[in-house]
Amino acid sequence: MPVATLEMKVVDFGRDCKTYLLWDAASKEAALIDPRFDYTAAYLKELQGAGLKLKYAIDTHTHADHLSGADRLRNLTGCAIVMSEHTKSKVADYKVADGEKLKLGEHELTFVLTPGHTPDSMSIFDGARVYTGDTLFIGSAARTDFMGGDAGKLYDSFRKLEALGKHVEVWPGHDYNGKHSSTIAAELQNNPHFKADKDGLKAMHRMKGELPANMAEILSFNSEAGLPEDKIIRPADVAKLGTPGKDFTLLDSRFIDEFEAGRIKGAVQIPLPELRDRWAEVEKLPHPIVSVCRSGVRATMAMMTARHASDKDWLLLEGGMQAWQKDGKPMVSDTGKAPDVITSKFATGGSCAAGGGTCSTVG
């Protein structure tokens, strides 16, 4: 029977990227597994609402499909970033070995290194549940065709997960199929990847998939450094910069359908996929540049492009147009309708699953 363990809440806001909040009820010490950068404010609200102190931000691996919130959470809460000892990430504070344990109050988290999706993939076992990151999905498995992935190692990692026990609950890093959790026993029964033999698993993982959109920028952000707080500007503070187009530039990296549906007056639109090719235009724009998109993800990737071009005079509009609209700030549109923040019909991206699923990287 599973033993009493930590409190747990899924804080994914309905997205297929799963973030788990774990905490010890007595000490109020908490950990977030695989937090997203664009939900940092929401996590802080969760933590404050429950009176929790964030001790660890845990990345199950170096993510290539979304921006990690670990670095920003560390900046804002003083938590430590935990990753596998095999990670090349420069942001981790603790690099844990296989079987190493960290305490949350009186409870322990055991780190099970599960390479295969990436060399630095790991799972976290809390005594009753295992958080499998992108190693094991419900009915599916991690892709192993990029970032040093290895299907043979994934097979060995699966056996380590199996050894935790059949009653252990499985909580994956992505859920592409509307199922939230499973058990080791159910996956042994139903999951073709988990129940395959080594050669069978290797055969299933021979196919190469589409790479996640903006992978270079995402990896740069996640493994080198995120954004310091002085590079993030709240909607309420934008007016202090002066007049857009004269004193500074509002650079909107969304697609044209989103821009036309609702934008900040005076904003310049260069969609993120075109930014590198149009860099000469960017250099001529009045600086500082305030980078804006729908929720802040693409705008952050634009800032990574600027970082590589050594253009340091950029600021991120926190929460993007969604926050701008929520704050009741003025917007204009070209559609004849009331300005609105919409999701683009042009959005695409690769996923972390073997052979399918979509991952929302546009933000």
| Contact set with Fe ion (CB under 5 A) | 134, 352
- Is residue 145 classed exposed, middle or buried when 0-12, 13-18 and 19+ CB atoms within 10 A define those classes? middle
Q: How far is the CB of 62 from Fe ion (least distance, A)?
A: 8
The residue among 38 and 134 lying less far from Fe ion, judged by its C-beta, is: 134
DSSP state of 238: G
Residue closer to Fe ion (CB basis): 104 or 301? 301
CA quadruple 233, 236, 239, 240: dihedral sign: negative
- Report, in Å, the least distance between residue 87 CB and Fe ion: 13
**Could you give the count of Cα atoms lying within 13 Å of 195 in the half-sphere of its Cβ?**
11
Beta carbon of residue 174, minimum distance to Fe ion (angstroms, whole number): 8
* Ramachandran angles phi, psi of 235, nearest 5°: -50, -40
Are 110 and 125 in contact, with CB atoms under 8 Å apart? yes
CB of 253 to Fe ion, least distance (A): 23
Please report how close the Cβ of residue 236 comes to Fe ion at its closest, in angstroms: 35
Token digits for 85? 């000892």
Between 63 and 74, whose beta carbon lies closer to Fe ion?
63
Q: Are 87 and 76 in contact (CB under 8 A)?
A: no
The nearest distance, CB 188 to Fe ion, in angstroms, is 23
β-pairing, 53-58 with 289-292? unpaired
Query: Which residue lies nearer to Fe ion by CB, 11 or 352?
Result: 352
* Residue number with CB closer to Fe ion (238 or 362): 362
CB-wise, 73 or 215, nearer to Fe ion? Answer: 215
Q: Which is nearer to Fe ion, 67 or 352 (CB)?
A: 352
Nearer residue to Fe ion within complex by CB, 191 or 325: 191
**Rounded Cα–Cα distance for residues 51 and 35 (Å):** 18
Q: Which residues contact 131 (CB under 8 A, 6 or more apart)?
A: 20, 33, 60, 123, 124, 125, 171, 172, 173
Q: Cβ closer to Fe ion: 55 or 63?
A: 63
CA distance 267 to 280: 18
CB of 249 to Fe ion, least distance (A): 34
- Cα separation of 61 and 113, whole Å? 10
Minimum separation from the CB atom of position 106 to Fe ion (A)? 32
Give the type of residue at 156: D
Least distance from Fe ion to the Cβ atom of residue 212, Å:
8
Exposure string (b/e) for 280-304, b if CB count within 10 Å is 16 or more? eebeeebbbbbbbbbbbbbbbbbbb
CB 97 within 8 A of CB 85: yes
